[in-house]
Amino acid sequence: MAIEKKTTERLTDLSKLREQSREGGGKKRVDQQHSKGKLTARERIDLLLDEGSFQELDPFVSQWSPNSVTGNEPHPGDSVVTGYGTVNGRYVYLYSQDFTIYGGSLSEVAAKKICKVMDMAIKNGYPIVGLIDSGGARIQEGVVSLGGYGDIFLRNTMASGVIPQISVILGPCAGGAVYSPAITDFVFILDGIGQMYITGPDVIKAATGEIVTHEALGGADTHAIKSGLAHFRLPDEQQTVNELKRLLSFLPQNNMEDPPFGMPDDDPARIDESLRDIVPDDPVKAYDMKDVISSIIDNADFLEVHKEFAANIIVGFARMGGIPVGIVGQQPSYLAGVLDIDASDKAARFVRFCDAFNIPIITLVDVPGYLPGSDQEHRGIIRHGAKLIFAYAEATVPKVTLITRKAYGGAYIVMGSKHLRADVNLAWPTAEIAVMGPDGAVSIVNREQIAQAKDPVKMKAELVKEYREQFAHPYIAAARGYVDDVIDPKETRPRIIAALEMLANKRDSIPPKKHGIIPL
C-alpha cells in the first residue's frame, strides 16, 4: 500500500507541474494578452493543429536557477511551447513563444527548446513553423541569450532548402530576433499587432534624432508593402492560420518529396474562349494577368505570395491538373509589368524556393523590359536583375513559359526563356519578341531617315507599322526553335497541363560544386 500511495503522490506532482506549465504566466498575464487582441501560445497551437494531434516536447524545461537581478523564478516550459502535430493530417514541428512568461523573451533554455525541435524537424523531414511573439533577448542573461539566437540562425540556415520554414509574426519581434524569420521561406505578419525591426524607436531617436512609431517603423504595412520581408499580411489570427494551412497544402514535407498532388475536379482539357480577347489590340493598353492565371489553373484557386510588394510581378501557388505549380508572371496593369529591383528580387527568391522543393514553374510573360532611370541603375538593377537570371538558369524543375504579349530585350531572356533551360516555351499569336519595342527600335535604327523626312511624324508612324508587321510577332522566334509552338489562347490550360505531365520524369542537373555564387 505504501508503494501505491507513493505512486499516487508522484502522479499528483506530475499533474500539478503539467498544469503549472500549461497556465503560462498566470491569469493576469493571460488576460493582458487577450486584452491586446492576441491569443496565448497554446491557443495558437490549438488553432493551427488538427484537434488532439499536438505532442508537446520539454514542458518541464526551465531556467537553471532564480535570477538574482529580477527575482524571476524558474517556470516549467519557460517562454516557449514546442512540439509537433498534424495539419490536415500532415506532420509539422512548431514552436510558439509565450508572451505571458517574461514577455516571451529568449532565454538560454528557451533557445535550447527551439533548437531541439528544429533539429528534429530537419532529421525527420517535416516543415517547421515558428509562432513568434517575443520582446527579444532576455537581457538578464546577457551573451547567453544572444548565443541562443546564433544557434537558431545556424539551424535556419542548415534547414534552408531541406524543409519548408515558416515564421508567423503575432506580436513584437525585435533586435537580433528578426534574422530568424528573415532566413525562413515565408513570413506571415498580423496587421496592427505584428512588428519587426532591428532597432526600436527609442534607440533610433537617441542615435539619429528621428521620431518614428513602432508601427510605422516595423509594422505589417511596412513589411508587406515596402521592405518585402512579409509575404502575407492578415487581419486576425484565425485568417492568418487559415492562410498558413492553405500554403502548407501546396508544399512537400521536404526537399526529397514531390509536392502533394490533388485529384482535379476541374477538367484538365477545359478550354476558355475568353482568353482569345484578353490581350487588347492596342499594344500599350493594360490588362490583368490575374485573369489569365484564374482561367488556366484548377478552380481559379491561386495563393498569391507577396501580393502587396512589387506588384508589377505576380508570384504564387496553384494547381494545374492537380499538380502543384509555382506561377511567375508580369502584371501589365501595374507599371506595365516592367522589371525593376524589387520585382527581380521577389521573382528570383520565389523561383529558387520552387526549385528547392520540386515545384514546377509556370512563367507568364508580358514584359516591356527593365525600368529605366538613374535611380535604378545606381541602386544596382544590373546586380538584382542578374539574380533572376541565376535563379531561372539554375532551376532544374520542370519549367513551362508562355509569352502572352511583349517580351523585349534582356527581359525576354530573363523570364524563363529557352536560353535559360526552360523545357517548353509557348506563345500566343499576340506575342511580340524583339530587342525592343517598335517605337524605340525605329527611333534608333531609322534616326536619320526620320530626321530628313518632309513629315517626320508620318514617316516614323509608317516605319513603326512596318517594324511591327516584320518583327513584333512570335514567328521569328518560333522559326529558330526558341518558341516550341504558337498556340490558340483558348487552349492554354490543356497545353500547359500536357507539358507538365510530359515533364513528370524530368531529370536535370548542374555541374558538381559546393554552391553557386548568386549575385547578392
Please give the positions annotated as active site.
175-176, 410-411
Burial 126-150 (b: 16+ CB within 10 A, else e): bbbbbbbbbbbbbebbeeebeebbe
Instruction: Give the Cα-Cα-Cα angle 167, 168, 171 (nearest 5 degrees).
Output: 130
Is the separation of the CB atoms in 186 and 166 below 8 Å? yes
Q: What are phi and psi of 496, to 5 degrees?
A: -70, -40
Distance CA 97, CA 74 (A): 16
CB burial class (10 A; 0-12, 13-18, 19+) of residue 11? exposed
The strand pairing partners of 305, in sequence order, are 315
Are residues 190 and 220 in contact, defined by beta-carbon separation less than 8 angstroms? yes
The amino acid at 388: L
CA contacts within 13 A on the Cβ side of 324: 21
Best CA proximity match to 518, nearest among 334, 280, 278, 352: 352
Rounded CA separation 196/244 (Å): 19
| Closest CA relative to residue 112, chosen from 158, 155, 72 | 155
Q: Taking a C-beta distance cutoff of 8 angstroms, is the pair 50, 88 a contact?
A: yes
Give start and end residues of each alpha helix (H) in 184-326: 201-208, 214-218, 220-221, 237-250, 289-296
